Amino acid sequence: MKNRILETLTKFWGYTSFRSYQEEAILSILEERDTLTVLPTGGGKSVCFQLPALISEGMAVIVSPLLSLMKDQVDDLKDIGIAAECLNSSLTPKDQYSVTEKIRDGSLKLLYLSPERLLFNHTLDLLKSVKISFFVIDEAHCISHWGHNFREEYRQLGFIKKEFKNIGVHAFTATATPEVRQDIVKQLNLEEPHLYIGNMDRPNLNYRVLPRSSQLLGQIVNVIKKHPNEQGIVYCLRRADVDEISAKLNDLGIQNLPYHAGLSDEERKKNQDQFSSESVHIIVATIAFGMGVDCSNIRYVIHAAMPKSIEHYQQETGRAGRDGLSADCTLFYSGSDYRTWEYMLRDSSNQKVMLSKLSAMYNFCVRPQCRHRTLVHYFAHAYENNNCGACDYCLGEVEMAQEPLLIGQKIISCVARVRERFGADHVADVLKGNRTAAIERWGHEKISTFSLMNSETKVFIRFMIEQLIGQGFLRRENEFMTLTITESGRKLLKGDLVPVLAKPIVAAKKKEIEAKRVSRRAREWEGFDEKLFQALRAKRAELAQTKNVPAYIIFSDKTLKDMALNSPKTIEQFANIFGVGAAKQRQYGQIFVDVIKNYESQTLN
């Protein structure tokens, strides 16, 4: 069986080996044993159920929460020659009828459905009348209150095991903490499932987390400029921020499209299609964008504000670099993001859980340590690597403050001296020794901590205060954002706990970071003809636009990069390129071989 599944992978998908847990998950599905598979975004979950569906008798039913996701997967499958369809409300009655016919006559290998659709009586009757190979519950974390994307209809999916006895049910998700995992197994009534929990790390993502300055636009532009012509997403918290940033970027000549729930369905679809087919490179969006977007070639994600949980952060950054090639994730956060979310979550039914997720997220931002390690630990996995080589901390872009304990003690004792009745800005002024009107009014120029940190800038002091808050030594309270000292803050005063404090990044450091980045990128492209790569991308965009499908469905960046490295000159050579199966070779081989030949004859002349 092992040989057979590997042959199928190569013949249809053009891949020559399995990624971790794919083979195990496939074998378990073929053995009709229930499974829960947790693999990070881009880990290759789809193949885990598409491949066994292809070689099993009957039709597999895939429950998926999003129409657009279904459509892309179905297009993708058809493009490699596998019979798949989806059944949902976006189809015309005629198309629905024709899909129903295909189900009846047994010609489909995969059927994608929304949970609502599956719950319809006539859908159930239809499915009971045909041979089902197995069920898949995609994005299974939606079933759990402990997850970050709870969906009511998912809650009812436990009935599958009861209605379809002896048919395997397989759950897949990218983000699941241990609570969510248990909940999935329980809610779906999985029977002694095999669990495959992959490493949640995404080694090809370069994480950077920076405090947001008053020049956010400049910060965003700086990142964009490092990725000319590459696909990127800028995430904002609110619709108004999307509109503002999108318009300002366009004013600067940086072409982009907005995306949020306030736009009409039509406009959203148009913008998403233009981005997917690469006629536009940048999309500025709320988190409404991305669920259901599987583009594998997104080279960077910028967060203009902090998400409300690490699960969200993981999911949003996870959209970058799904092809496994290097991609940049840059987050600009501020203490005000924490407060905005706290306010927005005030009426949430799940407030306690949500607030603890929010704190973990803020701590991730302000605690300088390996970002990969922190994310992996959050999902309760071990992280062996001492230096990930792919985060601001490990790349040496973060400079640690000397004597963090002393700094922490100075700040916290100042908070005590002003009787825990003032906000961060005032405390920073006192420590800096600024004689502001407020300071004179309260006589704070006379207290012992006045001017205690006068050799540092106020920016430095504020940055330290934010880190102390994020790490739980100080807390902001009431509508005046008064700083108070927590239990661990008192321990810090006694020297029993030590904070981890980074310095704000100054101009000289920025230059050094940039120089290192340029040399890393040069190394990455060593041996590749980048111009040929761009020519291949242009052809891909042209095909995507004519066929009206996302560019990645034609070929991933990784496949194009392999073409640029090996420049195949015949269809036979073309078959050896990464990600080229039989159907792709037939459909696109000649077209891309011609691009390569043309390019070479032009560069020779």
Interface residue with ligand ADP, options 12, 34, 44, 432 (CB under 6 A): 44
Give the footprint of ligand ADP on residues 549-568 (CB under 6 A): 556
Cβ proximity of 88 and 95 under 8 Å = no
Total interface residues for ligand ADP by CB under 6 A: 17
Under the binding rule (CB under 6 A), the answer on residue 47 touching ligand ADP is yes
Q: Is 142 among the residues that bind ligand ADP (CB under 6 A)?
A: no
Contact between 328 and 275 (Cβ < 8 Å):
no
Report the residue number, 375 or 412, with the smaller CB distance to Zn ion. Answer: 375
Binding letters toward Zn ion, positions 306-345, x by CB under 5 A: ----------------------------------------
Considering the rule CB under 6 A, would residue 37 count as an interface residue with ligand ADP? no
- Do 18 and 9 form a contact (C-beta atoms < 8 A)? yes
201 lies in the binding site for ligand ADP (CB under 6 A): no
Contact residue for Zn ion among 176, 370, 414, 453 (CB under 5 A): 370
Given a contact cutoff of 8 angstroms between Cβ atoms, the answer to whether 171 and 132 are in contact is no
- Check binding of 596 to Zn ion (CB under 5 A): no
Determine the interface stretch with ligand ADP among 36-44, 187-195, 298-306, 466-474 (rule: CB under 6 A). 36-44
**Contact by Cβ (8 Å): 398, 343:** no
Determine the distance from the C-alpha atom of residue 81 to the mean position of all C-alpha atoms in its chain, rounded to a whole number: 29
Distance CA 134, CA 154 (A): 17
Question: Taking the mean position of all CA atoms in its chain, how far away is CA 529?
Answer: 29
Residue in 8, 21, 29, 43 binding ligand ADP, rule: CB under 6 A: 43
User: What is the distance between the alpha carbons of residues 296 and 69, in angstroms, rounded to a whole number?
Assistant: 13
Question: Would you count residue 294 as binding ligand ADP (CB under 6 A)?
Answer: yes
Q: Which token pair is 520?
A: 């890393």
Instruction: Answer for the pair 391, 207: CB distance below 8 angstroms, yes or no.
Output: yes
**Distance of alpha carbon 419 from alpha carbon 401, whole angstroms:** 27
Residue pointed to by tokens 């918290």: 237
C-alpha R_g of the chain: 27
Residue 369 Cβ vs Zn ion, minimum distance, rounded to whole Å: 8
Give me the least distance between CB of 155 and Zn ion, in Å please. Answer: 38
Per-residue burial over 109-140, b if 16 or more Cβ lie within 10 Å, else e, is bbbbbbbbebeeeebeeebeeeebbbbbbbbb
Tell which positions 321-380 bind ligand ADP, by CB under 6 A. Answer: 322-323
Report the residue number whose CB is nearest to ligand ADP: 44
The three-point CA angle 144-147-150 to 5° equals 60
Which of 327, 388, 493, 595 is the binder for Zn ion (CB under 5 A)? 388
The span of 17-25, 184-192, 302-310, 418-426 binding ligand ADP (CB under 6 A) equals 17-25
Q: In this chain, which stretch among 45-53, 306-314, 451-459, 593-601 interacts with ligand ADP, using CB under 6 A?
A: 45-53
Single residue of 391, 411, 453, 469 touching Zn ion by CB under 5 A: 391
Stretch that binds ligand ADP, among 37-45, 231-239, 269-277, 433-441 (CB under 6 A): 37-45
As given in the structure block, the two tokens for residue 596 are 């390569």
Q: How far is the CB of 441 from ligand ADP (least distance, A)?
A: 57
Q: How far is the CB of 412 from ligand ADP (least distance, A)?
A: 44
Exposed e or buried b for every residue in 215-250, given b needs 16+ CB within 10 A?
ebbebbeebbebbeebbbbbbbbebebbbbbbebbe
Amino acid at 240: A
Mark residues 73-112: x for contact with ligand ADP by CB under 6 A, - for none.
Answer: ----------------------------------------
Q: How far is residue 293 CA from its own chain's centroid?
A: 11
User: Rule CB under 6 A: which residues touch ligand ADP?
Assistant: 15, 18-19, 22, 39, 41-47, 294, 296, 322-323, 556
Q: Which residues bind Zn ion (CB under 5 A)?
A: 370, 372, 388, 391, 394
